[in-house]
Amino acid sequence: MGQFQHPNIIRLEGVVTATCPAMILTEFMENGALDGFLRVNDGQFTPLQLVGVLRGVAAGMQYLAAMSFVHRDLAARNILVNGNLVCKVSDFGLSRFLTENSSDPTYTSSLGGKIPIRWTAPEAIAYRKFTSASDGWSYGIVMWEVMSYGERPYWDMSNQDVINAIEQDFRLPPPPACPSPLHALMLDCWQKERADRPRFSDVVAALDRLIRNPASLKVTAPEGRR
């Protein structure tokens, strides 16, 4: 964490090793985790403000990808919000440095540890292959969490039902009052073939275009809450 220097990545202040357990000290994020913050403030933000939140997360992930790091656990619960509503990617417990000299570096997990099924790309679930593209899939789920104000992805479906549904090409529908360009971007992130998913630089560029054109975020026919 000490090598990361970006406004949308949590900053490491220091470590405490003189006591047990060892601890890390990070910058203070007044509003806590993004998922809980959204639930407390359900419906309180404009679509443009939510796109600003998503843009910050995407910018942080673009930086990590450029540093050849794969996060592997990107979710709203692992994004922290400060007093100025700036979102920062945190919780690097599962992150890995990609050392392959390849245009598509891959981290393959050989351990049998648990993975967050609802946020994880199908190739990572099936083959334990993690890349920036699998982080991109997770980012699409984060987009859905943000636009639904912290609703649980796939609702009360079991993990196995989620796996089966995705394999049969089911994708999450747009949350209530979600602008269609944002749901279209989510669907791009959930392409089955990882090579077809947008890179984080593409996501940042797409969100910047929406921010410059707020009229594109108007919702003409909001759907009822599920």
What CATH number is associated with residue 181?
Answer: 1.10.510.10
Half-sphere exposure in the Cβ direction for 143 (13 Å, CA): 29
Of 126, 154, 128, nearest in space to 140 by CA: 154
pLDDT above 50 (res 222): no
Confidence of residue 220 (pLDDT cuts 50, 70, 90): low
Distance in angstroms (rounded) separating the CA atoms of residues 225 and 151: 11
Is 124 a domain residue? yes
pLDDT above 50 (res 204): yes
- How many distinct structural domains can be found in the chain? 1
Is 2 a domain residue? no
Is 7 a domain residue? no
pLDDT tens readout for residues 9-63: 999 999 999 989 999 899 999 999 999 999 999 999 999 999 999 999 999 999 9
Task: Dig out the tokens for 220 from the structure.
Answer: 């003409």
Confidence of residue 98 (pLDDT cuts 50, 70, 90): very low
Global pTM?
0.89
| Predicted pLDDT at 106 | 43
The chain-wide mean pLDDT, for the chain, equals 89
pLDDT above 60 (res 221): no
Given 35, 42, 73, 188, the catalytic residue: 73
Please say if 156 is a catalytic residue: no
Residue 180 lies in domain: 12-210
For the stretch 173-202, what's the b/e string if a residue is b when 16 or more beta carbons lie within 10 angstroms of its beta carbon?
ebbbebbebbbebbebbbbeebeebbebee
| Predicted pLDDT at 115 | 84
- Report H helices in the chain: 34-40, 47-66, 122-127, 132-147, 159-167, 180-189, 200-212
Is 55 a domain residue? yes
Is 117 a domain residue? yes
Total H helices, total E strands in the chain: 7, 8
Half-sphere exposure in the Cβ direction for 176 (13 Å, CA): 9
Q: Terminal CA-to-CA distance of the chain, rounded, Å? A: 39
Is 218 a domain residue? no
Q: Please give the average per-residue pLDDT across 93-103, as a whole number.
A: 49
Of 62, 68, 49, nearest in space to 210 by CA: 49
| Predicted pLDDT at 128 | 86
Distance in angstroms (rounded) separating the CA atoms of residues 56 and 53: 5
